Amino acid sequence: MSLSTRLILIRHGASRSTELQIVGGHLGCRGLSVEGVLQSERLSRRWLLGTPFDEEYPFGGAYSSMMRRSQETAHIALSPLGIPLTGASCGLCEIHPGITDGMTWKEVAEKFGEFNIFANPEVPIALGAESWNEMRGRVIDFLESLVRRHLGQTILIFTHKGVIDATMEVWFKRPPSNFAPGPQNTSLTTWMVGIGEHGKVRPVLATYDDVSHLSS
């Protein structure tokens, strides 16, 4: 068995909360927009033409965040393959927004002012929210636990921009602000994550922000 895991991170499709300009936490998430459904269907067609796993790295599991938009993306993309979600976890959720959850972005700006999480990585935007550093630690701990659980396999992760940004910062050693334009909705970011000496993960970035299914 290979001592590495193929980890495919899929950003959810375009969301209703973005259309409505509201904070899409556990309360504010409204699922996929019409555009998001179409994007997810195109991803499903891509995988019907060629599955994202193979004999070398067979399918090991499909995981989603707790957010409705991620789970809807997963169900649409996986249903033609006959693959159910293995599980959903808050370890894969976007940064927890605390009391801003469900507020409009205009209301957040009026109440809390302009806020850059990357410039203030130790400071949460509001009461009950996570800081960027807290969110990054939660995400990386959970992903590394999945990598160890699924050695020699391919795992599909339906998640969020912030989660993918966290992997780029920790595993690719680049500031997350460098990736502000991406990843795009339903894009694929693939990591080959090996386990080295003393159990330390050794990630190699294979693809980033792959949206070829949206242009084909």
Q: How far apart are CA 79 and CA 54, in angstroms?
A: 18
pLDDT of residue 196: 87
pLDDT of residue 95: 96
Spell out the domains of the chain, with CATH numbers in brackets. Answer: 4-211 (3.40.50.1240)
pLDDT tens, the chain, 216 aa long: 568 999 999 999 999 999 999 999 999 999 999 999 999 999 999 999 999 999 999 999 999 999 999 999 999 999 989 999 999 999 999 999 999 999 999 999 999 988 888 889 999 999 999 999 999 999 999 999 999 999 999 999 999 999 999 999 999 998 877 777 789 999 999 999 999 888 899 999 999 999 999 997
Q: How far apart are CA 200 and CA 106, in angstroms?
A: 43
- One DSSP character per residue, the chain reads --SEEEEEEEEPPPBHHHHHTB--STTT---B-HHHHHHHHHHHHHHHHS-S--SSS-EEEEEE-SSHHHHHHHHHHHGGGT----EE-GGGSPPPBGGGTT-BHHHHHHHH----TTTSTTS-SSTTBPPHHHHHHHHHHHHHHHHHHTTTSEEEEEE-HHHHHHHHHHTS---GGGGTT-PPTT-EEEEEEEE-GGG-EEEEEEEEEE-HHHH-
Residue in 93, 85, 211 with CA at minimum distance from that of residue 163: 93
User: Model confidence over 136-184: pLDDT tens digits?
Assistant: 999 999 999 999 999 999 999 999 999 999 999 999 998 877 777 789 9
CB-neighbour burial class of residue 189 (10 A; exposed 0-12, middle 13-18, buried 19+): buried
For CA atoms 10, 15, 18, 23, the dihedral sign is negative
pLDDT of residue 174: 86
